Structure 1
Amino acid sequence: MFKKILIANRGEIACRVIRTAKRMGIATVAVYSDADRDALHVEMADEAVHIGPAPAAQSYLLAGNIVEGCKATGAEAVHPGYGFLSERASFCAALETQGIVFIGPKPKAIEAMGDKIESKKFANAAKVSTVPGFLGIIEDADHAEKIAGEIGYPVMIKASAGGGGKGMRIAWSKDEVRDGFERARSEAKSSFGDDRVFIEKFVVEPRHIEIQVLADGHGNAIYLGERECSIQRRNQKVVEEAPSPFLDEKTRKAMGEQAVALAKAVEYQSAGTVEFIVDRDRKFFFLEMNTRLQVEHPVTELVTGIDLVEQMIRVAAGEKLSIRQQDVKLRGWAVESRLYAEDPYRNFLPSVGRLTRYRPPAEGRTGDIVVRNDTGVTEGSEISMFYDPMIAKLCTWAPDRLAAIDAMSAALDEFVVDGIEHNIPFLAALMRHPRWREGRLSTGFIAEEYPDGFAPVSPSAEEKAVLAAIATAVELLRRDRLDRLGGRLAPHSGALKPDWVVKLGADYLPVHLGEGMVSVPMELDVAVAEGKPMTVASDWRPGEPVWRGTVGGRAVAAQLRPVDNGVRIAWQGMSVAARVMLPRTAELERLMPVKLPPDTSKFLLCPMPGLVVSLAVGEGQEVKAGETLAVVEAMKMENVLRAERDVTVSKINARPGDSLAVDAVIMEFA
């Protein structure tokens, strides 16, 4: 077994590999760029090596720097994680020439499967079912348009060396093919250094289901069940689960055996994933093989009890698999939510900055529920524009699917992240979505269910009552604390008055208090509007970011953040500002004028911190609604900014290559 390994990656996956290596008694070496000098993976490792400036192309993507890091520290092997150099055969070969073991497949398998064009050719030769498409080199947009017409719309344009949803576009028409071809090629070039793309038929109502395989260097290969990865946004996975709620045992076995056959055909060694597109009739088509560990591997580990990183290390060390196919049993259900640094209320635009507060839910087993959080950040960490926006992977396991989903919902309610925008509200709302809970999924789920983007969830009458009850309990406790700090009960403060009004968003809800205790622990009877009294019980103390307790016997965990004269309550995808006041105060407050937001219609504002890739217009140019104004890149994704109406450009304030802050003015309109 190895004595020391180097992890050629960063963030949560580097931390994940380090944890298993330490459990196995293996010393670890981290690598870091200028931006990651104080990162968690650097702190966790036994040693750390600096490899260059913040941009990945100048640090994490330089194979020579990784090799030198191994030489300097005496690392015998390299675990690549995912992304970066994990699927680059030349990197694997470079390590081998130096006598360093690559913890992953051999160059032959990477070359055969790592390139999407070549992998489909190989799969066809191996008689694996594949999606119809054009696997040759596409010369230009005219060529792409011709091919798409022959295949038939809709088509998928994909980067040959791509992954993680980058360099991918769906086109439903000629115009979308031309634009999608250019965008996919540009993203592929900037992300992978390879601008080749290919085109294939897009399967309508598809499910994205993948099979986890594990193989050694002695001819043994097994499959570890499947993962459902259909909840995607812009072709990037957001929520995954294992097993799939759609597959029956017959289809699972057929897909697993085909995945193993493909792995054996390329003499695969290590953990890998064979991805399939599955249609409504459970017909499946080979999509690609990822010759690395997948982001969503924890759900497979939770339902099988197998540590995939450990198996990768053992296989790389020359050991035979100790697990047979008949040993693999799928137990219970696991769900993974990817927490991204992005603003769900602004079309999921990237967000960067410092984590001023980062308090994940407690990990471990409680009764029949397991919570796991794979992360690479801590409170105070910086979310950089240079890398992937994923903050953490929150996973829950339970004996059945709905229990796992409910556990995820509860865990998300307790996950506190401040300092940046994030997608927790969206994930929390998704856990309550009827279609998701019923398992009626496709890769178009988010686009179909949120066609106009994600908006704040509006609470029902019952939920408003719960929120108002929490707000009342919080406010009374705050007043009680102030009175006690002042050394008096001060009954004139109103803390003991029976009637109050809670302004919840734009609603004014009357609240009547019954008998109960105000001090901690609290037990208070509250009647909201015309509803029946319900008991609010909690041991929450002022200053704690999460309120935990029961409302009418229902367990509730809600996040609290102070706002002017009140508190913002975040719960199950809802986020509502609440102010508790006396009835006369509420009566007067209703008479106050409402301040209108400023008019920004004459400006094109940068929607997120990013790099200006290109400007499509000039000063004085007339632009029609829907036409491209500029392209801004952030976190390795290109975002096309289009005109919302017919305008004339009066002034250009930015140039290609400029790094802009959020809401910076790119151009002005007449």
Structure 2
Amino acid sequence: MFKKLLIANRGEIACRVIKTARKMGIATVAVYSDADRNALHVEMADEAVHIGPSPANQSYIVIDKVMDAIRQTGAEAVHPGYGFLSENPKFAEALEAEGVAFVGPPASAIVSMGDKITSKKIAQEAGVSTVPGYMGLIDDAEEAVKISNDIGYPVMIKASAGGGGKGMRIAWDDEEAREGFQSSKNEAANSFGDDRIFIEKFVTQPRHIEIQVLADQHGNCIYLNERECSIQRRNQKVIEEAPSPFLDPETRKAMGEQACALAKAVGYTSAGTVEFIVDGEKNFYFLEMNTRLQVEHPVTELITGVDLVEQMIRVAAGEPLSLAQEDVPINGWAIESRLYAEDPYRNFLPSIGRLTRYRPPEEHAAETEAIRNDTGVFEGGEISMFYDPMIAKLCTWAPDRAHAIELMRNALDSFEVEGIGHNIPFLSAVMDHERFVSGDITTAFIGEEYPDGFSGVDLAQDDKDKVVALAASMNRMAEVRRTRISGTMDNHKRKVGSDWIITVDREEFAVQVEARRNSATVIFEDGRRLTLNSGWTPGDSLAEVDIDGTPHAFRVQKITAGYRIRYRGADMKVHCYTPRQGELARLMPEKVPPDTSKMLLCPMPGLIVKMNVEEGQEVQEGQALCTIEAMKMENILRAEKRVVVSKINAEPGDSLAVDEVIMEFE
């Protein structure tokens, strides 16, 4: 077995690999850029080597710099994680030439399967059903339009060397094909150093289901069941689960056997993933093979008990698989939620900055439930604009799907993240969505259920009552404490009443509070009663409360005359008044936000890549105004209505902060 392993990656996946290597008694080496000097993976590793400036194309994807780090430290093997150099055959070849083991497949398999055009041709030759498309190289946007018309809209424009949603666009007409081709080409060049593009038919109402395979150097290949990855936004997976709520044993077996046949056809070794589109009739079509560890691998580990990183290391060391196909179980159900540094209320645009608070739920594993959190950040750390905006991968496991979902709901409610925008409210909303709970999902789920973007959650009345009861009981506790402050004799004589007016975003509730030590019963006007038991004390940012015997978690922040409470995806301002204060509060005018309708504001911190208009120009609804790049993704900002541009305040190359005025309209 290897004595020293270098991880050619960063963030949560580097931390994940280090944990397994440590368990196996293997010393680890981290590499880091300027931006990651104080990163968690650097802290966790036994050694760390600086490899360059912050941009990935000057550090993490520069083969020579990684090779220098290997030579400096004497690492015997390299795990590439995912992204960066993980599917770069030149890197695998460089390691082989240096006599260093690559914890991944042979370079020939990366060439065959890592290139999506080549992989489709091989899949077709192997008898695997594939989605109709054009597998040749495409020279320019006009050729892309012609090919798209030949295939028939809608089409998917994809980077041949792509992955992780980068370099992918859906086009529904000629104009979107032109724009999508250029944006995909630019993103592919920036993210992978390879701007080749191909086009395939976009299958409407599909499910995205993938098969995890594991193969050794002795001709053995097994599949570790499937993962359902249909909850996607902008072709980026958001929530994954294993197994799929849709597949039956026969379809699972057929997909697994085809995945293994494809892996064997190219001499694949190590862990890999074969991705399929599955339609409503359980017909499945090969999409691509990812010749690396997948982001969502934890859900497979949770239902099989197999440490995929350990297996990859053992395969790279020449060991045969210790598992046969009949040894692979499906034990319970696992769900993964990807926490991203992005603002769901701003169309999920990236958010950067310092994590002023980062408190994930406690990890644990028991016979009836488990919580796992793969992360590469820490409280006080920075979320950089240079890399993928993932904060963490929160996973839950339970004996069945319903319990795994409920466990995820509570874990999300108790996950404290402050200082940046994040998508926890959206993840919570999905967990409560009727379609998700029923398993009736497709890759179109987010577009269909949130066509105008995510604007928050309207709680059901039962859940709103819990928020009201919590606020009332917390407020009464705080008021009682204030009467006991030493040195203020009058306060000792003041009695705290039991009648309160609670407003939730200006909706009013009259309640009574019967308080006891560490518990309270809140009585509503119609006689309904909720009993709360809690160890919460004023100042705590997390309230873990039993309400009528059921555990709940609420994130709490004190505001004037009440609390900001976040629960099940809803973010509410809850005010607590005495009856007289409530009367006066009704007379207060509502604050009107400033009018920014005649301005184009920068929706995220980013770089202006292109300005599509000029001062004095009339633009039509939907017309492109400018392009902004942030976190390796290009975002085209469009006019919401017909307007005339009166002033432009930025130009290509400018770095802008969120809400900076890009241009003004007449």
- If the TM-score is normalised by the length of the shorter chain, which range does it land in? over 0.9
| Residue of structure 2 in register with 1:165 after alignment | 165
Quick check: 2:387–2:631 contact (8 Å CA) kept in 1? yes
Alignment-mate amino acid for residue 554 of structure 1: T
- The one-letter amino acid paired with 2:5 is I
Alignment-derived partner of residue 275 in structure 1? 275
Match of 1:29 in 2: 29
Q: Measure how far apart 1:493 and its partner are.
A: 8.3
- Give the match for residue 526 of structure 2: 530
Q: CA separation in 1, counterparts of 2:622 and 2:42?
A: 45
Deviation, 1:101, is 1.1
For the Cα contact (< 8 Å) 1:113–1:119, is it kept in 2? yes
1:611 paired with 2:615, answer no
User: How far off its partner does 1:66 sit?
Assistant: 0.5
Give, in whole Å, the separation in 2 of the partners of 1:273 and 1:494: 67
Q: Which residue of 1 aligns with 2:39?
A: 39
The one-letter code matched in structure 2 to 1:212 is: Q
CA distance in 2: counterparts of 1:157 and 1:625, whole angstroms: 24
Provide the C-alpha distance between the structure 2 equivalents of 1:282 and 1:572, rounded to a whole number of angstroms: 33
Whether contact under 8 Å (1:215, 1:222) holds in the other structure is: yes
User: What is the match of residue 452 of structure 1?
Assistant: 452
Q: Decide which of 555, 561, 564 is 2:560's aligned counterpart.
A: 564
- 1:482, distance to aligned residue in structure 2 (A): 2.3
Which of 581, 591, 599 aligns to 2:577? It is: 581
Q: Report the equivalent of 2:119.
A: 119
CA distance change for structure 1 residues 529 and 629 in 2, over 3 Å: closer, same or farther? farther
Rounded Cα–Cα distance in structure 1 between residues aligned with 2:122 and 2:453: 39
CA distance in structure 2 between the partners assigned to 1:293 and 1:551 by the alignment: 41
TM-score, normalised by the number of residues in structure 2: 0.98
Amino acid at match of 1:100: V
Question: Are the structure 2 counterparts of residues 489 and 128 from structure 1 closer, same or farther at C-alpha, using a change threshold of 3 Å?
Answer: farther
Structure 2 segments unaligned to the other structure (5+ residues): none
In structure 1, list runs of 5 or more residues that go unmatched. none
Residues 489 and 368 of structure 1: is their aligned pair in 2 closer, same or farther, counting only changes over 3 Å? farther
Tell me whether 561-570 or 319-328 shows the greater mean CA deviation. 561-570
Structure 2 distance, partners of 1:562, 1:383, is 26
Contact persistence 1:469–1:551 (CA under 8 A): no
2:135 is aligned to 135
Matching of residues 142-153 of structure 1 within 5 Å: 142-153=142-153
Post-superposition offset of 1:175? 2.0
Moved more, 173-182 or 43-52: 173-182
1:141–1:178 contact (8 Å) kept in structure 2: yes
Shift of 1:464: 2.1
Percent of aligned pairs sharing the same letter:
63
1:640 aligns with 2:623: no
- SS of 1:485 mapped into structure 2: coil
Paired residues for 1:408-557 under 5 Å: 408-486=408-486, 496-514=496-514, 516-517=515-516, 521-557=517-553
Find the aligned partners of 1:523 and 1:495 in 2 and give their Cα distance: 19
2:205–2:279 CA contact under 8 A, matched in 1:
yes
Question: Residue 192 of structure 2 aligns with which residue?
Answer: 192
Offset at residue 655 of structure 1 (A): 1.3
Supply the distance in 2 between the matched residues of 1:9 and 1:563 (Cα, whole angstroms). Answer: 41
Distance 1:539 1:178, change over 3 A: same
Displacement after TM superposition at 1:487 (Å):
5.7
Per the TM alignment, residue 481 of structure 1 is displaced from its structure 2 partner at its CA by: 2.2
Q: Distance in 2 between matches of 1:122 and 1:495?
A: 80
Amino acid paired to 1:467: V
Deviation, 1:499, is 1.0
Give the Cα separation in 2 of the matches to 1:461 and 1:394: 28
Post-superposition Cα deviations, 1:6-48, rounded to whole Å, max 9, x if no partner, equal 0000000000000000000000000000000000000000000
User: 1-side partners of 2:142 and 2:23: how far apart?
Assistant: 55
Residue 345 of structure 1: how far off its partner (Å): 0.9
Q: CA RMSD in A?
A: 1.3
Equivalences for residues 97-112 of structure 1 within 5 A:
97-112=97-112
1:174-323 aligned at under 5 Å gives the runs 174-323=174-323
Alpha-carbon distance, 1:556 to partner: 1.5
Is the 1:456–1:574 Cα contact (8 Å) retained in structure 2? yes
Q: CA deviation at 1:172?
A: 1.6
1:204–1:495 Cα change, 3 Å:
farther
Please give the secondary structure, in 2, of the residue aligned with 1:630.
strand
Equivalent pairs, count: 666
Q: From 611, 625, 629, give the equivalent of 1:629.
A: 625
1:656 aligned onto 2:648: no
Map Cα deviations across residues 603-636 of structure 1 (whole Å, 9 max, x no partner): 1110000111110011111111110001001111
Deviation at 1:488, TM superposition (A): 6.4
In the alignment, the residues of structure 2 paired with residue 62 and residue 616 of structure 1 have an alpha-carbon distance, to the nearest angstrom, of 33
Contact 2:479 2:496 in 1 (8 A): no
Q: After TM superposition, give the deviation of residue 367 of structure 1 in Å.
A: 5.2
TM normalised by structure 1 equals 0.98
8 Å contact 1:340–1:391 — kept in the other structure? yes
Cα separation, 2, equivalents of 1:601 and 1:434:
35
